[in-house]
Structure 1
Amino acid sequence: MATEAEPRTPRAGRAAIAERHLRRDRWWLAPAATVAGLLAFVVYSTWRAFANADYYAAPYVSPFYSPCLAENCADMKGGPNWALFGDWWGLSPALIFLALPLGFRLTCYYYRKAYYRSFWGSPPACAVAEPHRSYSGETRFPLILNNAHRYFFYAAAVIAVILTYDTVLAFRDADYAWGHMGLGTLIFLVNIVLVWAYTLSCHSCRHIMGGRLKHFSRHPVRYRLWVWVSRLNGRHMALAWASLISLAASDLYVYLLATDVFDDPRLF
């Protein structure tokens, strides 16, 4: 004769497991690689930003120093040099606009995930508990600044326009005559494509394209742009790293030319 099942009594607290997690794979490899990659870029870009030298080799200007708006900029004949800040700015001209692209990347949704997990362990990986006892989200300084991401997007778009202008100027030779294409021109072309792809794949850009539309059928152009940006957005992480590497590579190439390590190979 079947008997009625006894009701189960819920247990208080978590299961009695001594380990902090049950993962047996190399879950730490991804955050460790992120730490190494970001630290390498921070160290290199900090050195180059404060160097205040070897950032122009006609017709190429380092993306770290563009736009160059101080009077102490290198002589860029025919280049993007506008001394709007006059002679009172005595520091490296790279520091004038450094906060704009830096702020854009620091507040980027992907980079938040990257440094939250890798540097702060919040959490370090899926199914791995974080070491912090409390969580305040992005309601306190400095993380509350992440809410300004959409405004940094506008600034980053302006910087991308300026870097596009620099890329156009890269089609000149050392005597500033048009019709030249060197290896540096190709590097600058790849860099600006990646910079634009990363900038436009931003979540804020996707929201601008169609985030507030209630009827896509009434806005076919914005809908197509939203679809295109959404496809880019799916590759936002890859574009973030690729553009970061291309920026460093472009600056390094200009540095090697400026220090006479080699001459710019001419393609045509």
Structure 2
Amino acid sequence: MTQMVAGPPAREPTTQRKHRAQIRARTLRTDRWWLGPLATFLGLTGFVVYGLWAAFDPDYFAEPYIAPFSSPCLASSCPEGARLFGWAPVGDWWVLPPALLILAFPGGFRLTCYYYRKAYYRSFWLSPPACAVNEPHRKYTGERRFPLIIQNIHRYFWYVALLIGAILTFDAILAFRDENGNWGHIGLGTVILVVNAALIVLYTISCHSCRHIVAGRLNHFSRHPLRYKAWTYISKLNAKHQQLAWASLVSVIVADLYVRLVAKGIIDFPFA
């Protein structure tokens, strides 16, 4: 005779469906969560305002310093010493400030940067403004439509940003000359330009796209030891990408403004 073992009791059918708690408050957070988005909004707005002013400011070169916002200077209207290897491919037909020839590229790199997307999505669009804070938008379409689909060309901006980082490094090397072209000069401007170039390069190579380009598609790290080693170094930098983004943002403004103050005669070059 087979003994039947009773199973767990059957659940009674229910007509009630469980819903998420309906919270009418925008958030239940009690901390000052709005300070982060506000500080980001003010910082990025200040950068944009300064960039617009610098683009139209004519005092961007003080031998041997060139303001980073205007480098490389590619127009024929550029002073001879400010031209990259004396090269000026854009002729007299370009009547706008020379900085407008190149600012779109580093600006586009930062605008499409993965970290900056999060920063200005939260601070400008409130999408969402902070963790555990309800956003005012009713729907989210992602980055599949214009204009946010442009974010997908970030990897191409990276190649240009890498080139600009190399040019700023070259400018920093030239800053070791004096106003007569003699090597051996080390002024405050030299130090500022060197630090800025280092931070710009570190920010550029700590990018997520750089990490992927170096070894993101490898299936076997053991077959590519050099690329794996480079990937590990860049991964460590990538963990500091946010800090490098802000540090380089501040340094490029400081370096650019310093050169312009020297060019305007507000700071005397022998002490620069």
Q: TM-score, normalised on structure 1? A: 0.93
Partner residue of 1:235 out of 233, 237, 240: 240
Q: 2:10, 2:18 → 1: CA distance? A: 25
Partners of 1:77 and 1:163 in 2: CA distance: 12
User: Corresponding residue for 1:163?
Assistant: 168
Separation (CA, whole Å) in 2 of partners of 1:207 and 1:71: 38
SS at match of 2:125: coil
Equivalent residue for 1:47, pick from 53, 58, 62 = 53
* 1:19 Cα deviation from its structure 2 partner: 1.0
Structure 1 residue 133 and structure 2 residue 138: aligned?
yes
Q: Secondary structure at the match of 2:269?
A: coil
Residue 90 (structure 2) pairs with residue 91 (structure 1) = no
Matched letter for residue 16 of structure 1: Q
Residues 165-212 of structure 1: CA deviation (Å, up to 9, x unaligned): 111110100111111111100001100110010000000000011101
Q: Distance in 2 between matches of 1:249 and 1:228?
A: 28
Q: 1:38 aligns with which of 38, 44, 49?
A: 44
Among candidates 238, 257, 266, match of residue 261 of structure 1: 266
Residue type at the aligned position of 1:43: V
User: Aligned equivalents of 2:161 and 2:51: distance in 1?
Assistant: 17
Larger radius of gyration, structure 1 or 2? 2
Amino acid at match of 2:70: Y
CA 1:130–1:69: 2 relative to 1, 3 Å: same
Q: Which amino acid aligns with 1:187?
A: I
Deviation at 1:74?
3.0
- 2:200 equivalent in structure 1: 195
4+ long deviations beyond 6 Å = none
Is the 8 Å Cα contact of residues 74 and 84 (structure 2) preserved in structure 1? Answer: no
Match of 1:76, SS? helix
Number of equivalent positions:
264
Say whether the 8 Å CA contact 2:73–2:82 is kept in structure 1. Answer: no
Q: Is the 8 A contact 1:183 1:265 kept in 2?
A: no
Contact 2:66 2:171 in 1 (8 A): yes
Q: For the residues of structure 1 that align with 2:206 and 2:249, how far apart are their CA atoms?
A: 14
Task: Give the CA deviation at 1:16.
Answer: 3.2
SS state at 1:237 partner: helix
Distance 1:125 1:197, change over 3 A: same
Identity %: 60
Amino acid at match of 1:114: A
Gaps of 5+ in 1: none
Distance 2:110 2:198 in 1: 17
Q: Distance in 2 between matches of 1:174 and 1:21?
A: 59
Residues 153 and 204, structure 1, Cα contact 8 Å, conserved in 2: yes
Structure 1 residue 76: deviation in Å? 2.1
- Asked if the contact 1:117/1:123 (under 8 Å) is kept, the reply is yes
Give the RMSD, CA atoms, in angstroms: 1.9
Query: CA distance change for structure 1 residues 9 and 29 in 2, over 3 Å: closer, same or farther?
Result: farther
Note the C-alpha offset of 1:32: 0.3
The normalised TM-score by structure 2 is 0.92
